[in-house]
Structure 1
Amino acid sequence: MMKTLFSLFLGLLIATAAAAQDTIRIDHAASHSMVPGAKVGDGYLVITNSGGEPDRLVAASSDRAKTVQLHQMTMANGIMTMRELKGGLAIPAGQTITLAPNYHLMFQDVAKPFRQGETIRAVLRFEKAGEITVDFAVGKIAGPLDDVGGDAGAMDHGAMNMPGMEGMDMSGPSPEEAIPETLKTMFERPDKPLTILPVVVRNVWAIAGWQQDGRGGRAMLKKGHHGWSVFLCSGDGIREAAALEKAGLSPDDARALAADLADAEAKLDPKVLATFASFEGTVMMAGEAGDAGQGGHEGHGQ
């Protein structure tokens, strides 16, 4: 009799867990490819809870990373910061949550950088639905991922219902927000936070100053169909209009961007400018879909 009751109880538990898992659907899981030598990858996805009870994404893991964390991105005074979201992410009943751009998974201590075209398998653990295996399609190195939502630029951010998102303008990030996000996705590491300031923009071109672990430099970016991508990294080599013209800018854009950069950097501490100047030479980066960052910026600053 006890054996029969135990079997019935076990069967009920299995059936309940299966029913809960059926209510959670994962779509458009995607990740950026990584610069060679980088240790941190990202992950974006869309989670739909079709059940009648709320659930919560509480943990994630992958064989490709030592740990996988849920991170939140916030902007304050023009500087983007990322932090781990403790306590997991609520998935309300009957709603769809899109993890982009302010929330995303971070694959930490990646031994083999993600390459465009491959898939990264991860296991997501939900409070009620249990473990769900997800394959992330690896796209280009920076900018929106077409795999997420079919067109990341067209995702309905207004439909998000996430803690801390109330009152935020989700009409789309400005260049001053999107450019730091692009650079942090490519270069930031948990033990080496990246500071991006200033950011100056002229039409489809931009220059951003960066500081990391006592080093620094300037990155020139270009906006394409899939958002901002890094065109080159340098130090003082891209401060002057003549150098910007040689890089491909029109004379008018080169003069305007150089003037805007000079105005923005005039407000910075001379010590910060010295870190920008410490980047030696110029590192050309590939286009949006290419093998960007073969040299990267780490190791060039003195």
Structure 2
Amino acid sequence: MLKRALAVAVLGLASLISSVAAAEDIKIGNLTISDPYVRAMVPGAPVGGGYMAITNTGDTDDRLLAASSPRAATVQIHEMKMDNDVMIMRELPDGLLIPAGKTVELKPGGYHVMFMKITDRFIEGQTVKTTLKFEKAGSVEVDFPVGSVAASKPGANASPDADMPDMKGMKGMKGMKGMNMNEKHSSGDPQNDIPATLKAMFETPGKPLTIQPVVAHGDWAVAGWVQDGRGGRALLKKGNAGWTVHLCSGDSLKDADALQKIGVAPDDAHAIATDLSVAEAKLDAKTLALFSSFEGMVMMDRADAANAGGDHAGHTK
């Protein structure tokens, strides 16, 4: 009896494993959808990014036209790229082409599905049911597992440079190892060093960068920025070589709980949130609106883990 029960249990486990493996790839028509996942959202984040690989095994092109989910009021197909030295994100109104015989990757820093107007944020371990609509293959329901806040693939931990698009060709961006360009901008005062670091990284002659306010506690700081009609907030971390940009976001960087989830120590997170509220109360409404216009989160630093001795992906409204 015990042997029989054990055999049934083993068969049941094998069946479960088989079903999980089968769920990894979703097939519809000539398309195969692999490794879908979304990132967990920090408190206050209004949007979430979804990623996957889509392979077209047919001999005719197809197109991802639209997506919908009960977890979001709106779901759009987006791309993220550099445009005139500025990182932008835009909706693809005609959808995303899936060429015949090719695989198209939707990944941080590139194409992605953007979940917008989310009422209940995505929490790691959940599943987000989503319907994808293709021009030729039709519609299919896909379960997107929720990974970590900065996961670069299903079930992965944070990848410091996962969100960075191809940076070649950017003007004035030499010496980008670890996004650490502050060796010449270290006075010991974050009010001087942080603006100098950000300006060295992102300011160009035709696009001045305004940095205010700068709030620092311990090894972490938040700075507001405005450039060329866009704006947001940057979270910076202090390492052995000085300040480096950890990520860029919007209103989520005002929230102490969100800062802690990103990795800021509780005392520093609460101090930053409190002081930032006081400092930003002195700014005009237009500037604050630009700070808030940055949706999602863009991880910036590449060598933060190595120096511990860097959707979506974000965009402006």
TM-score, normalising length: structure 1 = 0.51
Q: How far off is 1:81 after superposition?
A: 1.1
- 1:79 matched to 2:95: no
Q: How far off is 1:139 after superposition?
A: 0.9
Q: Does the 8 A contact of 2:256 with 2:273 survive in 1?
A: no
AA matched with 1:96:
T
Distance in 1, Cα, partners of 2:48 & 2:235:
20
Which of 138, 145, 150 aligns to 2:153? It is 145
Task: Identify unmatched segments of 5+ residues in structure 1.
Answer: 1-19, 156-164, 177-196, 222-243, 262-278
- 1:99 matched to 2:106: yes
Distance 1:208 1:281, change over 3 A: closer
| Secondary structure of the corresponding residue to residue 286 of structure 1 | helix
Alignment map for 1:1-302 (pairs within 5 Å) = 21-76=28-83, 78-101=85-108, 102-147=110-155, 198=198, 209-211=223-225, 218-221=234-237, 244=238, 249=239, 253=240, 256-257=241-242, 284-286=259-261, 300=277, 301-302=280-281
AA matched with 2:70:
D
* 1:264 aligned partner: none
Q: Does the 8 A contact of 1:199 with 1:208 survive in 2?
A: no
Q: Does the 8 A contact of 1:114 with 1:138 survive in 2?
A: yes
Distance in 2, Cα, partners of 1:139 & 1:199:
33
Could you report, residue by residue, the CA deviation over 1:18-45 in whole angstroms, capped at 9, with x for unpaired residues? xx93311111111111112322111001
Q: Which moved more, 1:65-74 or 1:92-101?
A: 92-101
Distance in 2, Cα, partners of 1:297 & 1:145:
30
Could you report, residue by residue, the CA deviation over 1:236-258 in whole angstroms, capped at 9, with x for unpaired residues? xxxxxxxx5xxxx4xxx2xx425
Distance 1:220 1:26, change over 3 A: same
| Secondary structure of the corresponding residue to residue 261 of structure 2 | coil
Q: Does the 8 A contact of 2:35 with 2:153 survive in 1?
A: no
* 2:207 aligned partner: none
Task: Identify unmatched segments of 5+ residues in structure 2.
Answer: 1-26, 171-175, 180-196, 202-218, 246-253, 282-317
Q: How far off is 1:97 after superposition?
A: 0.8
Q: Does the 8 A contact of 1:35 with 1:294 survive in 2?
A: no
Distance in 2, Cα, partners of 1:21 & 1:154:
32
AA matched with 1:35:
V
* 2:312 aligned partner: none
Q: Does the 8 A contact of 1:36 with 1:294 survive in 2?
A: no
**Alignment length (residue pairs):** 197
Distance 1:69 1:154, change over 3 A: same
| Secondary structure of the corresponding residue to residue 285 of structure 1 | helix
TM-score, normalising length: structure 2 = 0.49
Distance in 1, Cα, partners of 2:136 & 2:115:
23
Distance in 1, Cα, partners of 2:80 & 2:155:
21
Q: Does the 8 A contact of 2:127 with 2:144 survive in 1?
A: yes
Of all paired residues, the percent bearing the same amino acid is 33
Distance 1:89 1:118, change over 3 A: same
